[in-house]
Amino acid sequence: MPRPVALCVVGVGAVGRELLKVLRQRKFPIKQLTVLARSARTLTLDGETIPVQAVSEEAFAGQAIVLFAGTEGEKGAAVTYAPAAIRAGAICIDNGADFRMDPKVPLVVPEINPEAIGRHQGLIANPNCSTIQMVMALHPLRQKGKIRRVTVATYQAASGAGAQAVEELKTQTQALLEGKTPPPPRVMPQPLGFNVVPQIGSFGEQGYTTEEWKLVRETRKILSDDTLQIVPTVVRVPVLNGHSEAVTVEMDRPITPAQAAALWKKMPGLEVAEGNDRYPMPTGADGRDPVYIGRVRQAPDDPKTLTFWVVADNLRKGAALNAVQIAEALLKS
């Protein structure tokens, strides 16, 4: 068992709360826990009261590891406070998007590229939630051959946009069920209740959104393959928690569903649902660690192409769990 360390969590939103849960569930060796947020308060989590301090540079003194919960689409706290934490001697793991494509910052999924952790300069980036579950499914297939092209459509839950987005979805859905006009959206770009929204993030290059470009660029960085072609479409769906993805992979050689399943079963963190009627769904992934794969089938006219369905709890493996696994790897090294 590694020696306990002083650990700090910055942020108490949806990801911050999940970080605290995962740390406790995995019995992470903590000598002293510090929780920071914009303002001091107390947090009640699973019946436990946790003191929260107002974030300041002085609060990082003596910390060994700092986990920044991050907020997708915004400048996270790591932009402001990671330099101070690093100067104080801490190693920072950031769940936000600000440093992921920085060539000096490792972008890590421990089951795939743990060797990248050793190249850190005080800061390690946690990938985007939709990227993590997709690369977990892609990585084992590379044992069979080179992946030439990935076409992916994501079906992302409201929790990926934070706790306020979840509440907004609940409010809209309740109003619609009661035959009322729901209040206009404040967190989402469009109403999500009984709706699907093909936009996450802002529109940018070639008409793709920032979330879609994350799938492209982060996947290439994690897999160390700048030649990989990725065509993404990301969609927000009226699901509270749990992201789903329909993934089509074109290989450089034939691959059967049975061969793919055999590779997936060997990789920690993956579970394969076999049989046409045993497909994974967000409700089954909620609160669970694995990435689930199902609906695996070969393209009718191309033995080199596979299509499959990938589901995961975006707050766990897509965020908190992956960050804690990075911290665990740091302790082991």
Annotated active-site positions, please? 129, 243
Q: What is the DSSP string of 33-70?
A: EEEEESS-EEEEETTEEEEEEEP-GGGGTT-SEEEE--
Calpha distance 107→115 (Å, rounded): 11
Considering Cα of 316, then 274, then 138, then 151, what sign does the dihedral take?
negative
Residue 147 in 3-state DSSP?
Answer: strand
Q: What is the DSSP string of 220-278?
A: HHHHT-TT-EEEEEEEE-S-SS-EEEEEEEEESS---HHHHHHHHHTSTTEEE--STT-
Note whether 38 and 54 are within 8 A (CB): yes
- Scanning 88-142, the segments in alpha helix (DSSP H) are 129-141
Size of the chain in residues: 333
Q: Give the residue from 160, 313, 311 showing the smallest Cα distance to 246.
A: 311
Residue 295's region, left for phi above 0, alpha for psi from -120 to 50, else beta, is left
Sign of CA dihedral 273, 276, 278, 282: positive
Whole-number Å distance between alpha carbons of 298 and 305: 6
Q: Quote the tokens at residue 135.
A: 């690369």
End-to-end CA distance of the chain: 12
